[in-house]
Structure 1
Amino acid sequence: MSKDKKITLEDFIKKATDKYNKRKKVVDIDVEGFGLLTFKRPSDADLLEFKNTLANSVKMSKDESIDKLDYGQMLNASKELIYNSCEFLHSNELMQELECGEPFDVPVKVFGIDGSIQLAQKINEAFEDNNAEVAIKNS
């Protein structure tokens, strides 16, 4: 198809569903100290919540330096994203062995504070749609 030709609704639906179905559904991430761990695609709502919380965790000053960083907020978003993406962390046995009161405590006990934040960022990046380009033609 030429770039100047309008597509039909049927073509649009086919392209949209093809793109949706080709999204990564699982990724293997090399986690230091563990090796390759499999993570399933978070829901769009989970990814959006993570991105929003991360963005709101950092306050920039007028000269674009970091004015305030809410590490607790970053950690809360990170541990939820990790927990929801990694089936291994759902193990009742693991939760008991680590003496976790809440399921979202498991990622922090396993990966640590900094490790959890870094891993959540890797998960986010692995499932980002980096090829979303839109060219707008003025009529």
Structure 2
Amino acid sequence: MTNTTHTIMLIDDNKIDNLFHARVVKKHSDTIEVIVKDSAEDGLEYLSGNQGAFPDIIFLDINMPGMSGWDFLEAFRKLEQNSLDTLIMVMLGTFETATPEMQTKIDGLFAGFAPKPLTKETVDEVMARYNLKQDL
């Protein structure tokens, strides 16, 4: 089964990274809506207010001040469970590979890890891994 990607959310405290990552997503497909949030709190607030209308993919920075990406995941798990089953979460950070401890923290979610900065190749890999296509 192939699912169509309509919306991608970027959550990162670095405005320049968000701008760059949004451009990368738009290079992948200019028909995908990009929602940008500058903090984990803002991302969680958006998702809490839009249950049932979640983005298809979230690219989430792990290291943010205040609420980190890991803190976001804990709060995110408490949202409406039905919506969590189809949303894909990709944790972005300055690591080479995900450690077993990092993998344990995402158990139960469709999730993965990718190094920063986000690239078109990473977007392509995520789309292929989860059998997604762009919205035409």
**TM-score bracket for this pair, using the shorter chain length:** under 0.3
**Which protein has the bigger helix share?**
1
**Which protein has the bigger strand share?**
2
Q: What TM-score do you get using the length of structure 2 for normalisation?
A: 0.23
Q: Which has the higher contact order (CA 8 A, sep 6+)?
A: 2
